[in-house]
Amino acid sequence: MYKILMIVSLIFFSGCSEKLVRVMPYEKEYFAQDKMSLSPVADRAEQEGHVFLIREASAGGESAFQGGCGCR
Amino acid sequence: MKVILILLFIYANIMAAGKEGDKATSFSLQNLYHLDKKVSFDAYKGKVVLLNLWASWCGGCQEEMPLFVKLQKEFQGSDFSILLSSIDKDSKNAVDFLHDIDPNNLLDALYDSEKTLPKAYRCIGMPSSYLIDKNGKIDTVYVGSIDEEKLVTLKAKIKSLLRK
């Protein structure tokens, strides 16, 4: 019973692996296109982009890494 | 129970990103400027290599590229090469970008249309750079763009690897 539980857990956690649930950084070409920007207004886009980076930092951000604190 | 733990350990190791001390992945990829020609990693045997995984659409990659040109100029004539591997969907975008930054083609450029290297290295961020020693082992992994500050330590590491 214990072994079955372990195997089921292993399969379950594999399903949650980050490779499956998020777009890998080298697959973000379409996200980098202008039409995918958060705002068509240039002034706002920079600020919204900053917020986006803070939010997404733990998952690799847009291109460079941050700690997620928003202090950079 | 032991078997499960061993399997879990093996699985975790297989899924791990390329790290310091690992053997660099061998490859044979297209030359970015001459797509009909192939470039093999074996050609860099005995050299210190900075393998950079990049794309023209990646902001961080664009920022660090002029520094790489400067770095390669500084080590011109030594056993150090910067090897760029572009993962752009269209190789023309990468060529156009490099044409402005590196008009004299100082940097060796590859085209990895199938994204084999980022997949092999399980690259966790773009850009990613791998400093590889003369024996083909990864010495240092740089995730994110290399700035002037990182460049200072990178140069010191390159010099030390060239002396070995």
This prediction's pTM: 0.75
Unique residue bearing structure tokens 């920007």: A37
Q: Which of B71, B29, B110, B59 is nearest to A31 (CA)?
A: B59
Looking at the DSSP assignment, which residues form a beta bridge with residue B38? B30
Q: Which of A63, A69, A67, A51 is nearest to A26 (CA)?
A: A63
Suggest the residue from B67, B126, B128 to mutate for an interface test with chain A (most A CBs closer than 10 A): B126
CATH architecture of B18-163: 3-Layer(aba) Sandwich (3.40)
The 3-state DSSP class for residue B130 equals strand
Q: Is residue A29 part of a domain?
A: yes
Give me the helices (H) in chain B, please.
2-15, 59-74, 91-101, 116-121, 148-163
Q: Is residue A20 part of a domain?
A: no
Please state which of the ranges A12-16, A22-26, B70-74, B80-84 shows the lowest mean pLDDT. A12-16
The 3-state DSSP class for residue B43 equals helix
Q: How many domains does chain A have?
A: 1
Contacting residues for B44 by C-beta, under 8 A, at least 6 apart: B81, B83, B132
Looking at the DSSP assignment, which residues form a beta bridge with residue B48? B80
Q: What is the DSSP letter of B25?
A: P
Q: How far apart are CA B101 and CA B97, in angstroms?
A: 7
pLDDT recorded at residue B137: 96
Q: Rounded to a whole number, what is the distance in Å from the CA of A38 to chain B's nearest CA?
A: 16
pLDDT recorded at residue A17: 62
Is B18 in contact with B120 (CB distance < 8 Å)? yes
Q: Is residue A35 part of a domain?
A: yes
B135: left (phi over 0), alpha (psi -120 to 50) or beta: alpha
- Cα three-residue angle B89-B93-B96, rounded to 5 degrees: 160
Residues of A in contact with B59 (CB under 8 A): 32, 62-64
CB spacing of B1 vs A60 below 8 angstroms: no
CB spacing of A27 vs B115 below 8 angstroms: yes
Q: How far apart are CA B81 and CA B47, in angstroms?
A: 7
Q: How far apart are CA A20 and CA A72, in angstroms?
A: 29
pLDDT recorded at residue A50: 75
Residue B130 has pLDDT above 50, yes or no: yes
Question: Could you check whether the bond before residue B66 is cis, i.e. omega within 30 degrees of 0?
Answer: no
Q: Is residue A17 part of a domain?
A: no
Nearest-by-Cβ selection for A3 from B4, B115, B123: B4
Q: Rounded to a whole number, what is the distance in Å from the CA of A54 to chain B's nearest CA?
A: 15
Nearest-by-Cβ selection for A32 from B8, B15, B57: B57
- Which residues span the domain enclosing A70? 25-72
Residue A61 has pLDDT above 70, yes or no: no
Contacting residues for A39 by C-beta, under 8 A, at least 6 apart: A45, A48
Q: Is residue A41 part of a domain?
A: yes
pLDDT, tens digit, 9 for 90 and up, residues B70-123: 999 999 999 999 999 999 999 999 999 999 999 999 999 999 999 999 999 988
Residues of A in contact with B8 (CB under 8 A): 10
